[in-house]
């Protein structure tokens, strides 16, 4: 029987030594984001009977590679996890290998299915597909990373990103059937094909973000 609760000393270590590193990242990948991914990972692990400590640690490390180039952050995150000798207090060599691979496999644009259930858990947990959250994160990322773009250029980038990632032809894949993400993705796709409604949403969020 797998313990459904995260080890308290593991949690203390993660919250003290790992999570504060997310404070340096952009709004779409900050402490709020990693906390959501952790919470969803734990719930999914409990639901399907996976090891909650492994799911928790995998989620906590999944975006640490953003300390380096974004394009390879999933690979870098895996290396950071595997190299952290402190984790050996709680996990075996084989468990750490599985967790490293899970972190590497979490990226939405990955061309292959995650190699283990832990990769599927963190990939699914990382997909915060509540439509308002997706739209706001996309706009925040554009403002943070392309500050030279005006509103019309940000709108164009917003639409292109949604089409490439979330549309019926997009690259995002869900790995755990029957999840809340399936319903949310359908809502996003319904809005993508309603450009006038989507523009209203963009205008509202963009005004909120640029007024801060």
Residue 110, pLDDT above cutoff 70:
no
pLDDT tens digit sequence for 156-177: 999 999 999 999 999 888 888 8
Q: Band of the pLDDT at 131, cuts 50, 70, 90?
A: very high
Pair 117, 48: CB distance under 8 Å: yes
Q: How confident is the model at residue 87 (pLDDT cuts 50, 70, 90)?
A: very high
The 10 Å Cβ neighbour count of residue 15 is: 13
- Taking 90 as the threshold, does the pLDDT of residue 2 lie above it? no
Over residues 27-79, the pLDDT tens digits come to: 778 999 999 999 999 999 998 899 999 999 999 999 999 999 988 999 999 99
Structure token pair of residue 70: 């974004």
Mean pLDDT of 113-139: 93
Q: Is the separation of the CB atoms in 4 and 52 below 8 Å?
A: yes
Summarised one tens digit per residue, pLDDT across range 173-210 is 888 887 888 899 999 999 999 999 999 999 999 999 99
pTM: 0.76
Structure tokens at 28: 């779409």
HSE, side-chain direction, 13 A CA sphere, residue 168: 4
Encoded tokens for 124: 């699914």
CA distance readout (Å), 204 to 86, 127, 197: 45, 23, 11
Q: 126 near 66, Cβ under 8 Å?
A: no
Residue 114 tokens, joined: 């995650």
């Amino acid at each position: 029987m797998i313990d459904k609760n995260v080890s308290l000393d593991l949690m203390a270590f993660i919250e003290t030594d790992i999570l504060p590193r997310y404070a340096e990242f952009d709004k779409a990948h900050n402490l709020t984001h990693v906390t959501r991914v952790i919470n969803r990972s734990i719930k999914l692990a409990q639901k399907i009977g996976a090891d909650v400590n492994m799911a928790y640690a995998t989620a906590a490390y999944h975006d640490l590679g953003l300390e380096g180039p974004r394009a390879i952050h999933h690979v870098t995150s895996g290396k950071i996890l595997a190299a952290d000798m402190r984790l050996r207090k709680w996990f075996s060599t084989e468990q750490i290998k599985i967790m490293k691979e899970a972190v590497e496999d979490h990226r939405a644009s990955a061309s292959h299915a995650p190699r283990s259930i832990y990769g599927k858990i963190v990939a699914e947990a990382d997909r915060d597909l509540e439509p308002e959250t997706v739209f706001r994160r996309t706009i925040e990322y554009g403002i943070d990373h392309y500050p030279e773009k005006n509103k019309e250029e940000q709108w164009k980038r917003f639409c292109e990103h949604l089409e490439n990632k979330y549309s019926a032809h997009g690259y995002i894949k869900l790995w755990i059937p029957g999840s809340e993400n399936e319903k949310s993705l359908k809502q996003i796709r319904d809005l993508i094909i309603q450009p006038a409604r989507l523009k209203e949403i963009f205008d509202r969020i963009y005004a909120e973000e640029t007024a801060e």
